[in-house]
Amino acid sequence: MLKTIYDSFGFCSCHQICARSFILSGNQLPFCARCTGIHLGFVFASVYNLIRGKWKDGGRPDQWALAILILTSQTMVLDGFTSYAGLRDTDNLTRVITGLSMGAAVAILLPWLTKVVDRAEVNGSYSWKEVSLLLGIFYIFGFAIPSFSNSMFMYHLISIASVVGQLLFAFLCFNLLFKLLINNVKNVIVKNPNPVFVASFQFTIMLLIWNLRIFFT
């Protein structure tokens, strides 16, 4: 039952190819290794943002922190491009690690970008040491995932965290997009679009993708 629910969410945004996914306790994770990394990196960094008050203060990365985020996140682009182009082979461990980099980078930058769109004062900051420590912890977890191959508990934990990461990622990105559009079109500062509208739009898009995939499969 739970696996069906996990897989339904994964079906909305991921190819779910078995060879590119981790198998834990005989169950394929709902997202491929790269998507799993993106969603885990995003949800882990978002929790950190919440605990450390980054959403309230803005959390602007310093120049070295920003350089680290750009370089590490682009490893996912490089890994994906070179492997799809047939220039080199990749594996699930590389996919999940580079995905963690991308997901964490987006989550770390979102509070700052939101403040920029709101034209609000940015009080907080992200130091390069803070970013490096976070990424290091995320990478340790990523490297440990294959060792959970016989753990049903970790299957459920990673699946739930990935689904939460997927939903949170989409909601916050759509929220920022609508805020940007409203602010530019109406020339007023809208702190937060109606969350019910954003969530409804998000699930409508997911349902549309889900049905299109079923239709063309």
Residue with tokens 């959970």: 148
Does 184 have pLDDT greater than 80?
Answer: no
Does 23 have pLDDT greater than 80?
Answer: yes
Does 174 have pLDDT greater than 80?
Answer: yes
Average of pLDDT values for 175-182? 85
Beta strand pairing call for 23-24 and 27-28: antiparallel
Handedness of CA 170, 127, 76, 24 (dihedral sign): negative
Residue 127 has phi, psi (to 5 degrees) of -85, 160
Structure-block tokens of residue 133:
């420590």
Q: Where are the domains of the chain?
A: 2-216
Predicted local distance difference test score (pLDDT) of residue 188: 61
| pTM for the whole structure | 0.93
DSSP code of residue 20: G
Instruction: Say how far apart CA 25 and CA 153 lie, in whole Å.
Output: 9
Predicted local distance difference test score (pLDDT) of residue 171: 94
Name the band, by pLDDT with cuts 50, 70 and 90, for residue 215: confident
